[in-house]
Amino acid sequence: MMLTVKDAAGNVVRRLNAAPMQGTQRVTWDLRYPSVTLAPPRNPAAGPDLEELFGPPPGGQLVMPGKYTVSLAKRVNGVWTQLSAPQSFNVVTEGSLTLAAADRKTLFEFQQKAARLQRAVVGASGVANELRGKLATAKRALQETPSAGDKLMEEVAALDKRLAEIVKAMSGDRALQARQINPPPSISERAGTVAAATRMANAKPTGTQVGEYTIASAEFELELKKLRAIAETEWPKLEKAMEAAGAPWTPGRIPVWSVQ
């Protein structure tokens, strides 16, 4: 069972799963867009952690006031069937006298920008760390490849060094943090702070928040360009060279083979 919420323009705002059980069931919507980042997997047997108990609820920014619709559908053997016609309802705001419509629009648009930045930063950080893991495996594979020579090993070391600098810019200087020295704010820290501070806000973004977003955006644009060059050009080229040298298989690389 699934409830689908749409805005007045017909755009899907949220999809909510409903338990297919007998009796009266209730599903609530928190009037928010979905979160732009995936929550880490958790062991249900471990119980809720402190973030779940005392942190802000998951989800994206609040939707704008206006008219919305919700419809109910079920899926049986992979086939969706609508169970009801869309039902309309209105979303209204509390404290509307203290936040003008124009200011609310400004807040909403800034929340969207901050969420987009956070999504991209989290994804890029994941790609950079994943590539570093692949490079570590490539180094091991090349050590078992006599025909590879020193050049490929040097390329692996050079790429890993550049990725380490990207990770440091994105996530902070771990070496300084280990010595209890406060490093400059990282891109992830700036983007995450702005997104978290404005997600629950009911006021226009502050000058500080706009400034932090501007700094994070400019820095991230530079690092993302470097990361794309490695991930989309240099790493695939290195993988092809490893395959040509007959290196042992490494994750993500499709072996070249033909009948002899």
Residue 251 located in a structural domain: no
Q: Are residues 55 and 118 in the same domain?
A: no
Between residues 43 and 257, which one has the greater pLDDT?
257
Q: How far apart are CA 88 and CA 10, in angstroms?
A: 12
Q: Are residues 164 and 226 in the same domain?
A: yes
Residue 212 located in a structural domain: yes
pLDDT of residue 50: 55
H or E segment and range at residue 87 = strand 87-91
Q: Looking at 91, 122, 157, which one is the last position of a domain?
A: 91
Q: How far apart are CA 60 and CA 51, in angstroms?
A: 16
Q: Are residues 46 and 150 in the same domain?
A: no
Q: Looking at 65, 91, 117, which one is the last position of a domain?
A: 91
State pLDDT tens for residues 69-111. 999 998 888 888 888 899 999 998 876 556 788 888 899 999 9
State pLDDT tens for residues 181-224. 777 889 999 999 999 888 878 888 999 999 999 999 999 999 99
Q: Are residues 72 and 184 in the same domain?
A: no
Residue 96 located in a structural domain: no
Question: Would you say 224 and 116 are in contact if contact means Cβ atoms under 8 Å apart?
Answer: no
Counting every residue written for the chain, the total comes to 260
Range of the domain at 72: 2-91
Q: Are residues 17 and 74 in the same domain?
A: yes
Q: Are residues 31 and 130 in the same domain?
A: no
Q: How far apart are CA 253 and CA 57, in angstroms?
A: 40
Q: Are residues 114 and 217 in the same domain?
A: yes
pLDDT of residue 49: 57
Which two three-digit tokens encode residue 63? Answer: 């939707």
State pLDDT tens for residues 245-258. 999 999 988 999 99
Residue 259 located in a structural domain: no
Q: Are residues 11 and 49 in the same domain?
A: yes
Q: Are residues 167 and 111 in the same domain?
A: yes
Q: Are residues 120 and 189 in the same domain?
A: yes
With 90 as the cut, is the pLDDT of residue 60 above it?
A: no
DSSP3 helix / strand / coil % (the chain, rounded to 5): 50, 15, 35
Residue 108 located in a structural domain: yes
Residue 215 located in a structural domain: yes
Q: Please report which confidence band the pLDDT of residue 117 belongs to, taking 50, 70 and 90 as the band edges.
A: very high
Q: Looking at 64, 91, 118, which one is the last position of a domain?
A: 91
Structural domain total, the chain: 2
Q: Are residues 13 and 128 in the same domain?
A: no
Q: What are the distances in angstroms from CA 193 to CA 51, 98, 203, 213, 220? A: 15, 24, 16, 9, 15
Residue 193 located in a structural domain: yes
With 90 as the cut, is the pLDDT of residue 41 above it?
A: no
Residue 260 located in a structural domain: no
Tokens 């050079």 belong to residue: 158
Q: Are residues 12 and 68 in the same domain?
A: yes
